Amino acid sequence: MSTFEKRNIISMRDFTKDEILHVLEVAKVMDEEPSKYAHALEGKILATLFFEPSTRTRLSFESAMLRLGGGTMGFADPGSSSSKKGESLSDSIKIVESYADVIAMRHPVEGSARLASEIADIPILNAGDGSNQHPSQTFLDLYTIQQEKGTLEGLKVGFMGDLKYGRTVHSLANALGQFGCELLFVSPKGLEMPSDSLEELARMGGKFKEFENFEEAKGDLDILYVTRIQRERFGDDLDYDKVREGYNISKKFLEGCSPDLRILHPLPRVDELSAEVDETPHALYFRQAANGIPTRMALIALVMGMVS
């Protein structure tokens, strides 16, 4: 395993299974003993460059840095950055790297984080590059699953909703494929997992099946990862309403599922996940969101060389 110090966190594809487990181990330490690291990054600065707004992800990165004793600066709105004036991304990164010690960056263009990492001498944390990668989300999803189930190996994991456009689904499925999980993809016609993602899973020997409705898939699932189906993906509202009915998770919908089934959702949810599910033991999504903090603390501390 190569050291994490000065490393960039760009894509889940850059990490081996052992490296993923190492990040999760550090996240656990951050989770259990946060006070031990409360001054670890004193005097260090995280720049949050959000060329595309994402309040929750930005706040989560900033909170993680503050809890490590560091400071933060940045912008949340591309309208207030120089990119609006036509500055290239390369120039923006060259300037900011002299102001900060680590950068968390979200950008609407795919590959922008990789490019930034080639330009900057300080570590880049990809907080989402277009529809490509969002590795800190995947790490926190994995951390949540491991924390709940005690392992990532050999689980039966369902993915339900818009599997075509959901980047969190693609990289989580890919990572779980490495751990020998059995993956069940449930999606309406037209929003299935992209063939590229399935072929990649097949090349790595991943086990998966596709379904159109949850009934056939629910059996003895350990985890169900739900994503929102957006109205704009459908030609007319009637089609959308028809599909939505079959993908609306309520207490009744979950009848017949294993009592140990846990539900994850990258949030925000709209009506695909009924509020009545919140009070059931199945609901894991709020803990999942909270896990963003220790996971991002771990990533920052690792790339800054504060933990080995």
Partner 1 sequence: MTTDAKKVRRISQIRNGTVIDHLNPHRVFEVVKILYIDDTTEETVTVGTNLQSKVIGKKGIIKISNRFLTQEEVNRLSVISPNATVSIIEEYEVKKKFKVKFPQEVRAILNCPNPNCVTSIEEIETRFKLVQESPILLFCTYCERYCRENEIEIL
Residue 200 or 210 having the CB closest to partner 1: 200
Dihedral sign for Cα atoms in the order 29, 68, 6, 93: positive
CB 74 within 8 A of CB 128: no
Residue 108 or 305 having the CB closest to partner 1: 108
Dist. CA 308–CA 303, nearest whole Å: 9
Q: How far is the CB of 198 from partner 1 (least distance, A)?
A: 11
Residue 116 or 304 having the CB closest to partner 1: 116
| From 22, 67, 107, 134, active-site residue | 134
130, 214, 116, 204: which is closest to 167 by C-alpha?
A: 130
Judged by CB under 8 A, the stretch of 28-36, 38-46, 130-138, 212-220 that binds partner 1 is: 130-138
Residue keyed to tokens 């779980």: 176
Judged by CB under 8 A, the stretch of 82-90, 143-151, 210-218, 287-295 that binds partner 1 is: 82-90
Q: How far is the CB of 222 from partner 1 (least distance, A)?
A: 28
| From 7, 22, 67, 106, active-site residue | 106
Extract the tokens encoding 56.
């929750």
- Of all helices (H) and strands (E), which one includes residue 159? strand 156-160
Active-site residue, 134 included:
yes
Among 109, 202, 267, 270, binds partner 1 (CB under 8 A): 109
Among 78, 111, 180, 246, binds partner 1 (CB under 8 A): 111
Q: Which own/partner contact pairs does 87-90 have at CB distance under 8 Å and 24+ positions apart?
A: 89/51, 89/115, 89/116, 90/115, 90/119
Active-site residue, 107 included:
no
Judged by CB under 8 A, the stretch of 46-54, 72-80, 103-111, 183-191 that binds partner 1 is: 103-111
Backbone angles phi, psi at 111, to 5 degrees: 95, -5
Q: How far is the CB of 257 from partner 1 (least distance, A)?
A: 34
DSSP 8-state symbol, 9 = B
| From 48, 57, 168, 227, active-site residue | 57
Q: How far is the CB of 121 from partner 1 (least distance, A)?
A: 18
Residue keyed to tokens 């059996």: 219
Residue 83 or 147 having the CB closest to partner 1: 83
Q: Does residue number 110 form part of the binding site for partner 1 (CB under 8 A)?
A: yes
Q: Does residue number 114 form part of the binding site for partner 1 (CB under 8 A)?
A: yes
Q: Does residue number 205 form part of the binding site for partner 1 (CB under 8 A)?
A: no
What's the CA dihedral at 160, 162, 164, 167 to 10 degrees? -90
Side-chain-side CA neighbours of 232 within 13 Å: the count stands at 1
Q: Does residue number 82 form part of the binding site for partner 1 (CB under 8 A)?
A: no
Among 8, 9, 11, 75, binds partner 1 (CB under 8 A): 11
Q: What is the CA radius of gyration of the chain?
A: 19
Q: Does residue number 198 form part of the binding site for partner 1 (CB under 8 A)?
A: no
Q: How far is the CB of 278 from partner 1 (least distance, A)?
A: 35
20, 253, 304, 274: which is closest to 140 by C-alpha?
A: 20
Dist. CA 229–CA 160, nearest whole Å: 9
Extract the tokens encoding 179.
């751990």
Q: How far is the CB of 118 from partner 1 (least distance, A)?
A: 8
Residues 272, 144, 45, CA angle at the centre, nearest 5°? 105
Active-site residue, 164 included:
no
Query: Which residues are at the interface with partner 1 (CB under 8 A)?
Result: 11, 13, 88-90, 108-112, 114-115, 129-133, 196, 199-200
Give catalytic residues, as residue numbers.
56-57, 85, 106, 134
